[in-house]
Chain A
Amino acid sequence: MNSYEIRVQGRLDQLWSDWFDGLTITYDAEDNTVLRGPLVDEAALHGVLIKVRDLALPLLAVNRVEAEGLEQERQNSGETRLRDTHLR
């Protein structure tokens, strides 16, 4: 499983974390939003990117990053919650 870092313009509420498949939301020095975390594969990454698109968030960067430490972070964030299987 790879981890990714998606940078979008503007400060996005923490509320959206669940919407973005549990990726963590942090902010950089310019107050832009960084979505970060492990995604199961490229298809999952594209799914997230489509959500970025659908919210009309200006996309600044997408990077693949080392998974170090992220797995732990994810497990702490209530991973076991039932996830939607989206039909639409």
Chain B
Amino acid sequence: VSFDEKDVAKIARLARLALSPEELHRYAQQFDKIMGHVDELKKAQTEGVPATANPMGAKNVMREDAAEPMDGEAFLALAPAREASFFKVRKVIE
């Protein structure tokens, strides 16, 4: 793989990150090097090997679907902007 500024800009958009032109340039160079190392993985013989998602092999862990009371105000108080008991954000629908 080889990365240019355009590739990085596309990834940054997917990741919701505003980057400066210098950052785009620097990350492109670094990703070349890092992914060059990561590409070693392709050499591993993994045919027929199952994937590990959880190292202890846990599957779905179930519990009662019961609500527990919590102090909503404690969470709302952390918001950068709020109105009454809502988080306030920019308009989503035109």
| A interacts with B | no
Q: Which residues of A contact B (CB under 8 A)?
A: none
